[in-house]
Amino acid sequence: MKVRTILLTALIVGGGPGGPTLAVAQTRALSESECRAFRERLAGHAALSEGVRRSVAALAPTAPAPAPAAPASQETRADAIRTRLEQIRTERQVLEDQRLAAMVRFEVARAGQIQVQIQGLDAERSSLERELAALPAAPPASPAPAAPAPAPAPAVATSADRVRCEDLAGALESAVKTRQRELGAREGQLGAIPLVALKGQTGEQIAGELAGQFAPWPQAVAQVGLLDSDGDARLDGFVDVPAPDVFRLYRQRPDGTVSVEAFLAPGRTSGYGETVRRIDETTARQTGQKLADLLAIRSAGGDRVLAETARFGEVRAHFLAGNFADVAKVEGGVARSLEFQNFRGESIRMLEVIAPTATGVMVRRIVAAPAASNQERWEELDLRIRPVSYWRTDVEVSVSRQTRTTAGAPVASPSTSAPVKFSVER
């Protein structure tokens, strides 16, 4: 294919894009609503990172306390019980979030362990409430001015609400860099977004949460969200944005395989078809791809297109939506060669080809990633899709890997897997 020859040349000779660095600029005073949004995001990062909690706690003493504390010598048993009840409420919410995350990841055993902890807190709360009710009412000492009712406690006890508004931008920037380091990303890699915990119960709710953490389309296509569900500084999954208002979540299952889920913004009914989602998920499982392998070839920085044939974007959109009949109408196919930086700041070059075949659609993807000794790892994935009926689609996939020099010269013979065949049914 002539197009492929031209684009392979572009893939070999393309240079690496310059990597933007993370910066949170603050040129004016933040409004009250902006301060609240910054605090919520900062608290979300602190909930998942001990390093962020420490840095936020170090900032908090510089801000005035919201209200003077009562002298410690005046603390009674009732005061101690009320303090502990507040702590239980916070701890229980943390455990509930962790239990939900474990259930989403199908970690039944861990979810059961967390449930036992929750039951223990519930029992302690009931006991303390009974003791508090049985205590004799004490006459007020020196009446203190009535204070306004406290706002609901955040999901995790942090000092984010005590950080001064003018310090929030810097604190949030520092928190993002800390979590990037913890999750294996290059510090300051602009497109690598450490996600705060996802708490939505429906797909639309989760899509709304993700939309608030990604840039608007089309900037979101050059971003990847790093997901740590339970705050153990381990990557549990990642999110990319293959189409407008479509958030695709790759998650590591307990057995090591990868699951693929899609969350669509309210009102969005297409953009990433269910058949394509299942093909992506089954392909990853059948070819043994791991979460780290898939994350390493996602863009986390500005893409630079080296070459692109006409109608590539249109045809790719049809393919992602599962409109294979429309893809098959494109004579000769389409192709694109681009380069970008991944979440580690490594320069990646990729060639994508989508073309009709006699029985369906072919997708070929060639990725060149850096390797040791000034070499590169080349991986070619060949996907053949054949719609058999409205209900069934047959798929054949093969993967070839080879080490090459940065100039594209082979260093060793390619390693090619035997074609894997499977079917996807509606």
* DSSP assignments along 116-145, one per residue: HHHHHHHHHHHHHHHHHHHSPPPPPSSPPP
Binning pLDDT at 50, 70 and 90, where does residue 104 land? low
More confident residue, 385 or 134: 385
Contact assessment for residue 353 and residue 5, using Cβ atoms and an 8 Å cutoff: no
User: For residue 28, what pLDDT is reported?
Assistant: 65
pLDDT at position 357 is 95
State the chain's mean pLDDT as an integer: 84
Residue by residue, DSSP assigns 209-228 as HHHTTSPPTTGGGG-EEEE-
What is the greatest pairwise CA distance in the chain?
91
Ranking 79-93, 109-123, 353-367 by mean pLDDT, the lowest is: 109-123
Separation between Cα atoms, residue 65 and residue 36, nearest integer Å: 17
Other Cβ atoms closer than 10 A to 129: 12
Between 11 and 211, name the one with better pLDDT: 211
What would the mean pLDDT of 206-227 be, rounded to a whole number? 95
Q: Count other Cβ atoms within 10 Å, centred on residue 93.
A: 17
Q: How confident is the model at residue 108 (pLDDT cuts 50, 70, 90)?
A: low
What residue type is assigned to position 133 of the chain? A
Confidence of residue 248 (pLDDT cuts 50, 70, 90): very high
Q: Are 162 and 67 in contact (CB under 8 A)?
A: no
pLDDT level of residue 23 (50, 70, 90 thresholds): very low
Pick from 151-160, 183-192, 365-374: least confident: 151-160
**Spatial distance between the Cα atoms of 17 and 302, rounded to a whole number of angstroms:** 7
Query: What's the pLDDT at 201?
Result: 86
Mean pLDDT of 359-384: 95
**Whole-number pLDDT of residue 200:** 86
**Single pTM value for the model:** 0.72
| DSSP summary character for residue 191 | T
pLDDT tens digits, 120-174: 778 788 878 878 887 776 555 555 455 455 444 444 445 788 888 989 999 999 9
With contact defined as beta carbons under 8 Å apart, do 76 and 138 qualify? yes
- Residue 353: is its pLDDT beyond 70? yes
Say if residue 218 is preceded by a cis peptide, omega within 30 of 0. Answer: yes
pLDDT at 240 over 80: yes
Residue 60 has pLDDT above 60, yes or no: yes
Please state the domain extents for the chain: 2-11+173-425
In this prediction, residue 151 carries a pLDDT of 47
Q: Note whether 268 and 247 are within 8 A (CB).
A: no
Q: Report which of 313, 210, 191, 189 is spatially closest to residue 263, judged by C-alpha positions.
A: 210
Mean pLDDT, range 276-280, rounded to an integer: 96
DSSP character at residue 5:
H
**What pLDDT is recorded for position 61?**
63
Q: Which residue has the higher pLDDT, 23 or 350?
A: 350
Using the Cα atoms of residue 234, residue 107, residue 41 and residue 154 in order, give the sign of their dihedral.
negative
Structure tokens at 274: 């269910």
Helix (H, G, I), strand (E, B) or coil at 388: coil
> How many of the other CB atoms lie within 10 Å of CB of 269?
6
